[in-house]
Amino acid sequence: MSVDILSTYIYHLVFKQDTKNLRLISRLQASLVWTDEELAWDTSVYPFEEVILPVSKIWTPELHVTNGIVTTMKHSSRDLLLSSNGTVKHNVIINAEIACAVNMFNYPFAADSCPVAIQAWTAEGCGTYLQLGQLKNVNGSQGDWKTENAFYDTRLNRDDRNFIMVQLRIKYLNPFITLFLPSILIVLADVISFALPLGGGERNCFKVTLVLSFTMFLVILNNELPGDGHCSPIIRTHFCICLVFLVFSMLVSMVLTGIAAEGCREALSLSCTKCSAPKCTANEEEKADEEAKADISVVPLDASEEHTRMLRKVVNFLEVLGAQQLKRERYQKIAKRIDEIFFWFYFIFGSIYFFAMTYVMVNYTCQVNHFDFWY
């Protein structure tokens, strides 16, 4: 025995799309019409064309969503309408939480389709068959997602595999402002920080602050990012690359600060001395005097020779100090030149990266199998 059920219309309402767990929460209001010959009567005996009966007194079909994790069907009314020829009219409400393998690769510019497979029970030619009528999409904008369209379709031209294909698109403004734009601004601030001088430590402190701030930003937003799947969001990779940019820029700035202060060999050597040039020079002079005093006997000098010796020590000290100053200026020029080259490399490469990443987010399409629940 089989019963044909005609769905004259279905109102489809999307409550929300759970971006984190990839769940579509949908509400369907269906108007059902079916014929039960055992309920027909002769109008000549009972002169009534239609009667209202309680739902609990007669058989009603059970509809379910095949790909729904949780599906509940409720009667919209305790009564239904029965005609003399056995035709029954009734309204039901179906609430379903559907596992949707939505393409989240382009997040926050994601757009994809999600099937809502509506079926009635049938097995080996016995059961109920569902015929879909008119579909109306109601209130297609909820939360971060917008329902662009909804339409009937069938799988493999089989009558028992009917579904509503819901086309969804994320409202990109909110996630763009809260996720993508901050990463651009932080990297831009890191680029502008090259205007700060290498000496003094202001630039290094600022870059360290940027790295720590971006790390905290990622920790806070970790629970807000979409879940992993076949087409996981590329914005996770984008955040990782931005963090690499910031850390690499910070390390280069620290190395260049050391080069400007102590030179290439001293900045890159772990065993370089930390004393300043005047202090080191003075220590060397004192050491030389002590060695001379140990090897040479004390000979009384007159005032002119003592004065000449003191002048010679002052001249030697000033010459060494001048040589150290010239060496430091040469190192600073080298560091400044390397800093300018790295700035333009960082700026050009970073600009190309952001343009390329935005293009991939908007235009690349990741293919998802939406019908793996049908085997």
Per residue in 304-336, pLDDT tens? 777 787 877 777 777 777 777 777 778 778 888
Residue 297, pLDDT > 80, answer no
pLDDT digits (tens, 9 = 90+) for 238-279: 999 999 999 999 999 998 888 877 765 444 453 344 434 444
Section 221-234 average pLDDT? 74
Question: Minimal CA–CA distance to 106: which of 238, 16, 221?
Answer: 238
What is the distance between the alpha carbons of residues 199 and 251, in angstroms, rounded to a whole number? 15
Query: Would you state the structure tokens that stand for residue 169, as one six-digit string?
Result: 């698109």
Interaxial angle between packed helices 235-262 and 181-192, expressed in degrees from 0 to 180 and rounded to the nearest 10:
10
pLDDT of 156 above 90:
no
Read off the pTM. 0.69
Exposure class string for 37-73: b at 16+ Cβ within 10 A, else e = eebeeeeeeeeeeeeeeeeeeeebbebebbbbeebeb
Task: Examine domains 3-170 and 174-270+343-363 and report if their fold is the same.
Answer: no
Residue matched to tokens 């510019």: 109
The CATH number given to 174-270+343-363 is 1.20.58.390
**Would the pLDDT of 355 be above 60?**
yes
Average pLDDT over residues 191-197: 89
Residue 364 has pLDDT above 80, yes or no: yes
Band of residue 352 on the pLDDT scale cut at 50, 70, 90:
very high
Mean pLDDT of all residues belonging to the chain: 78
The CATH H-level (homologous superfamily) assignment of domain 3-170 is Neurotransmitter-gated ion-channel ligand-binding domain (2.70.170.10)
* Average pLDDT for 16-22: 68
pLDDT at 41 over 80: yes
Give residue 16's pLDDT. Answer: 62
**In the predicted model, what is the mean pLDDT of residues 62-77?**
86
- Per mean pLDDT, which range of 8-17, 137-146, 179-188, 344-353 is the poorest? 8-17
Give percent of the chain with pLDDT exceeding 90: 15
Mean pLDDT of 282-289: 49
pLDDT at 9: 58
Q: Locate the domains of the chain by residue range.
A: 3-170, 174-270+343-363
Taking the C-alpha atoms of residue 18 and residue 114, their distance in angstroms, rounded to an integer, is: 13
Q: Is the pLDDT of residue 296 over 50?
A: no
